[in-house]
Structure 1
Amino acid sequence: MTKQQNHVVRELFDKVILPVYAPAQFIPVKGSGSRVWDQNGEEYIDFAGGIAVNALGHCHPHLVKALQEQSEKLWHVSNVFTNEPALKLAQRLVDNTFADRVFFANSGAEANEAALKLARHYAIENFNPYKTKIISFTHSFHGRTFFTVSVGGQAKYSDGFGPKPADIVHVPFNNLDAVKAVIDDHTCAVILEPVQGEGGLTSATPEFLVGVRQLCKQFNALLIFDEVQCGMGRTGSLFTYQQYGVIPDILTSAKALGGGFPISAMLTTEAIASVMYPGVHGTTYGGNPLACAVGCEAFDIINSSEVLNGIQIKRKLFIELLEKINQQFAIFSEYRGKGLLLGAQLTEPYQGRASEFLNMATEYKVMLLNAGSSVLRFTPSLVITEEEIIQGMERFAKAVAKIVINK
């Protein structure tokens, strides 16, 4: 009892948490919709959405109800048994995508780990033990496990941990010739984000995705779409691949899938899934009844015309208000991403200063993100109101003014 503290302060983080994060100086304690309150009762407008996780805002009543009801029924049974919420959510995913089979895990990294293992196993079982090459792209991000962080195209995250998994090649994004130069009969998979999240919110061109799909077919390689961040309504369709008309062999989902409750999924076809068998892969918590019950509710709300049709309208409003700020301060050179996965590229005088804008924004009670050091990222709730967007952007404008005036 002597170690317990009635009042938790931000300084405690620096004493007891592994120093791999640098969180803001305030501590959020309550959220409702797109508003958050800290320990002092100060209100913030949330344009970060838990890094595209809180797709329905904080404490959505339907999600709260689903969690409360399931919490009184069944919490956990492991993969030794199945459960109703997991089967219901899997059926929703199968019914609304290209997929026939679903594997549940807990995070985007785990879903991508499963996808990469499946791709290699499929190639080895169907072709030969040397068909293991994975092609990925610079500035990509696929998770923090050692395998996924090595597949990701940002060395700053993967260096410093010893020898990396072999047979992984990185080439420039949206460069089909670069893919042609490295793909061959030893390639088992090409993995990409239709919209790169952490890498600066670069969208794949239609020509690039079509070309990669054709190359994968030519060389019997699987095409993996990482839609951990850009999926589940974020860009205006249930999954972003549906806007391109290019169907992957494997798709990964997480973040918004649980509306804030940890859950992820890997989706694939019957033919590819058929190489797996009991014991070849697994997870203790994947398909947890609590997570899947919340996931079912989140899925039904997100996959509605009311929510999906409103995303481009909200994006347009964000850009109009950002451009109003830009006309006064000239800090943005372009707007990137799709839907409410929105990036604002900083102009030359402000290159490398994205974190400065984030920190100043919190002083004016608005929460946002960066995507690299020179892109501001907005991933708010998909159901954020027009009033909340306007009010949050008014606060952000004051933060921008403070930086520009004091430069």
Structure 2
Amino acid sequence: MSWTPTREDFDLYMVPNYSPQRVIPVRGEGSRLWDQEGHEYIDFAGGIAVNGLGHAHPALLAALKAQADKVWHLSNVYTNEPALKLARMLVENTFAEKVFFCSSGGEANEAALKMVRRYAFEKFGEHKNKIISFRQSFHGRTLFTVSVGGQPKYSEGFGPIPGGIHHATFNDLDSVDALIGDDTCAVIVEPVQGEGGVMPANQAFLEGLRERCDRHDALLVFDEVQSGMGRSGSLYAYMDYGVTPDVLTSAKALGGGFPIGAVLTTNDIAAVFQPGTHGSTYGGNPLACAVALAAVETISSPEVLEGVASRHALFRQRLEELSEKHGGLFSEVRGMGLLIGAELSEDFRDRGRDILAASIKEGLMLLVAGPNVLRFAPSLIISEEEVNEGMARLDRALATLKA
């Protein structure tokens, strides 16, 4: 097809549930992208924490090309080598004993939530079905996961929503104590709330959740869709806290840009998913698993994980310098590893999307987490030169916006 689409064609042909920027990227390499006109951009967005190794990483390209010459899809009537190799890799490098594969983070959380309810049903009876989540959390876009997520704007208008779901306050154990009981089947939490403003959990909070779940025979679920796969500086953020969940969900950077999700758990819990209990048409897809295996092997290397800490320090330093230069731009810079949130001060309140638009004009791609938090989720291997150049572009965007 010789036709070249434009941004206007999105409005003409696509359902308007997104409002993308005006530029259309057509090529990427490392932490840089180029649009249809050849303009270059530094990528601080990382596909919303998906492109953990940047664009067109040679290890991922090699894995995809090699598998493309073999088999693309089999369905789960058969297993396949890439899925088994990836499952073994995840088991050997985490707390998990069993893995379930699907196509996205939302699917992974849907499966995890069904799994914990099924486990409680079989072990204790149907009365034990309460799920505790947290306000401002985000767990996906299925009806179940938006209901468990703690942001009503995502579930409004889609009711009636599933019952038995209760929301406590993040980093507040007293609010958990007011809800948890012997009818609780699970507590689900993000070690770092991503969409909720890039809010890391306190150490005592996660330790307290573990203790309370143990006391009430409830399962602890960590949603590491965004915080996992090296984003925190460890393979998964639970390792940084030293708090082990019963179930962990993973996606985004797991496939380095190729769609895949996973649920990690123990033998005992996994046993409730017998044939016919749950499934995923594309779960364990050979192409996805081959790419994901290459991503996990690369990201779990000491060179990549150790580099995250130094890049975090550089991001924080440069953001604090920008804040001071622009009259207290940020009220707080927070996060873990290369998932960083910079909260706008009162003088810049609700200007997040304006900053995004101004940054695009200067050749920089970044994110927001709500209207008041700039979110940075770049490649884990972004160079110091690219960090500094990106910050220079953000500086120019802020100056233009203020003018």
Same fold (TM > 0.5): yes
Corresponding letter in the other structure for 1:373: P
- Residue 236 of structure 1: which of 213, 228, 233 is its match? 233
Corresponding letter in the other structure for 2:375: R
Q: Where does residue 357 of structure 2 map in the other structure?
A: 359
Q: Where does residue 379 of structure 1 map in the other structure?
A: 377
User: 2 CA distance for matches of 1:352 and 1:132?
Assistant: 39
* Deviation (angstroms), 1:112: 0.2
2:3 is the counterpart of 1:6: yes
2:201 is the counterpart of 1:225: no
- TM-score, length basis structure 2: 0.99
Unaligned runs of 5+ in 2: none
CA deviation map 1:28-49 (0-9, x unaligned): 0000000000000000000000
Partner SS, residue 94 of structure 2: coil
Corresponding letter in the other structure for 1:391: E
The 5-angstrom pairing of residues 148-297 of structure 1 reads: 148-297=145-294
Corresponding letter in the other structure for 2:121: I
CA deviation map 1:231-255 (0-9, x unaligned): 0000100000001111100000000
The 5-angstrom pairing of residues 11-50 of structure 1 reads: 11-50=8-47
User: 1 CA distance for matches of 2:35 and 2:24?
Assistant: 5
2:385 is the counterpart of 1:395: no
CA deviation map 1:190-226 (0-9, x unaligned): 0000000000011110100111111101111100000
User: 1 CA distance for matches of 2:153 and 2:240?
Assistant: 32
2:307 is the counterpart of 1:310: yes
Q: Where does residue 135 of structure 1 map in the other structure?
A: 132
User: 1 CA distance for matches of 2:280 and 2:292?
Assistant: 18
Corresponding letter in the other structure for 1:334: E
User: 2 CA distance for matches of 1:275 and 1:65?
Assistant: 37
Q: Do the aligned partners of 2:320 and 2:333 also contact (CA within 8 Å) in 1?
A: no
Partner SS, residue 83 of structure 2: helix
User: 2 CA distance for matches of 1:323 and 1:167?
Assistant: 43
- TM-score, length basis structure 1: 0.98
User: 2 CA distance for matches of 1:345 and 1:196?
Assistant: 14
User: 2 CA distance for matches of 1:7 and 1:122?
Assistant: 51
When residues 160 and 5 of structure 1 are mapped into structure 2, their CA distance, relative to the original with a 3 A threshold, is farther
Q: Do the aligned partners of 2:44 and 2:364 also contact (CA within 8 Å) in 1?
A: yes
- Residue 94 of structure 1: which of 77, 91, 94 is its match? 91
The 5-angstrom pairing of residues 116-131 of structure 1 reads: 116-131=113-128
Partner SS, residue 389 of structure 2: helix
Corresponding letter in the other structure for 2:218: A
User: 1 CA distance for matches of 2:384 and 2:109?
Assistant: 35
* Deviation (angstroms), 1:373: 1.0
Corresponding letter in the other structure for 1:278: P
CA deviation map 1:255-300 (0-9, x unaligned): 0000000001000001111122101000110000000000010001
CA deviation map 1:36-95 (0-9, x unaligned): 000000000000000000000001011101100000001000000000000000000000
User: 2 CA distance for matches of 1:352 and 1:279?
Assistant: 47
Sequence identity, in percent?
A: 59
User: 1 CA distance for matches of 2:144 and 2:363?
Assistant: 38
Q: Where does residue 343 of structure 1 map in the other structure?
A: 341
Corresponding letter in the other structure for 2:115: L
Name which of structure 1's ranges 222-231 and 315-324 shifts more when overlaid on structure 2.
315-324
User: 1 CA distance for matches of 2:380 and 2:272?
Assistant: 37
* Deviation (angstroms), 1:404: 2.0
* Deviation (angstroms), 1:372: 1.1
User: 2 CA distance for matches of 1:276 and 1:327?
Assistant: 53
* Deviation (angstroms), 1:5: 6.0
Q: Count residues in correspondence.
A: 402
User: 2 CA distance for matches of 1:338 and 1:400?
Assistant: 24
* Deviation (angstroms), 1:13: 0.2
Superposition RMSD in Å:
0.8
Corresponding letter in the other structure for 1:8: P
User: 1 CA distance for matches of 2:174 and 2:222?
Assistant: 19
Structure 1: which 4+ aligned runs deviate by more than 4 Å? Answer: none
User: 2 CA distance for matches of 1:280 and 1:180?
Assistant: 32
CA deviation map 1:133-192 (0-9, x unaligned): 000000000000000011000001111112000010011100001001100111100000
- Residue 105 of structure 1: which of 102, 106, 113 is its match? 102
Partner SS, residue 343 of structure 1: strand
User: 2 CA distance for matches of 1:275 and 1:324?
Assistant: 52
User: 2 CA distance for matches of 1:404 and 1:61?
Assistant: 41
2:64 is the counterpart of 1:64: no
- Residue 74 of structure 1: which of 71, 92, 109 is its match? 71
User: 1 CA distance for matches of 2:112 and 2:263?
Assistant: 7
User: 1 CA distance for matches of 2:2 and 2:127?
Assistant: 56
Corresponding letter in the other structure for 2:215: Q
Unaligned runs of 5+ in 1: none
